[in-house]
Chains A and B, each alone.
Chain A
Amino acid sequence: DAGITQSPRHKVTETGTPVTLRCHQTENHRYMYWYRQDPGHGLRLIHYSYGVKDTDKGEVSDGYSVSRSKTEDFLLTLESATSSQTSVYFCAISESRLSRDTQYFGPGTRLTVL
């Protein structure tokens, strides 16, 4: 998984609680992405980062926030988790801003919101 770890790998939480997922990379890649994967929807981009403290919204950003204080860490926060946020979350990294470059994916975090 190309020097990318995600933590936790599994989490069960209750509606209304805050949740933070962590993505950590050892590749020193500049670009990082958070996706969610749901049956029937494929992967959808939540937020992405193009540098330390530089982030922007993706396709499905409502209810999520991100932070990147160091090159190697990209945090995804659900301020108040809802059942619709039950999903598998993947972090990805990329070396450059060019869409022709490969994205490398982490192993995923399975989140269940009860």
Chain B
Amino acid sequence: SQQGEEDPQALSIQEGENATMNCSYKTSINNLQWYRQNSGRGLVHLILIRSNEREKHSGRLRVTLDTSKKSSSLLITASRAADTASYFCATDAPGGTSYGKLTFGQGTILTVHP
């Protein structure tokens, strides 16, 4: 079963609005990462948050982590049409950080309309 699961599966908004995506996971983690995938392309790393951090910012991105609820959220502020993509959370493998193995969720498809 998936370690990370994103919600919602699809999100459609207008340019300028904020987009919030959520990720839940099942077991304890050391780190949680968010990746973006444009259609037909590979994944691109966006941001990483460690288990001892609660919030992190990078440009228009804000990530929160609640280890007690085993959940994370990704907020994209003032969205642009270019933000249209699929967004994935990824957690390090349950049981340890051996060899950098990550487990990915199923992703949220974000569509930003001009």
Q: Which residues of A contact B (CB under 8 A)?
A: 1, 4, 31, 33, 35, 40-45, 48, 50, 56, 58-59, 90, 92, 94, 96-108
Contact = CB atoms under 8 A, between A and B. Distances in A.
Nearest to B6: A42
Contact of A102 (B33, B40, B106): B33
Given A56-B99, A97-B97, A99-B101, A41 B106 contact: yes
Given A31-B100, A100-B50, A40 B43 contact: no
Interface residues of B, number: 27
Given A100-B31, A103-B100, A105-B42, 11 more contacts: A4-B42, A41-B2, A42-B104, A45-B102, A56-B99, A97-B97, A97-B98, A99-B92, A99-B101, A100-B50, A106-B42
Interface of B: 2, 4, 30-31, 33, 40-45, 48, 50, 88, 92-93, 97-107
Nearest to B5: A42
Contacts of B98: 97
A14 to B, nearest CB: 25
B51 to A, nearest CB: 10
A31 B99 CA distance: 8
A105 B44 contact: yes
A31 B107 CA distance: 24
Nearest to A106: B42
Contact of A94 (B42, B44, B100, B107): B100
A103 B92 CA distance: 12
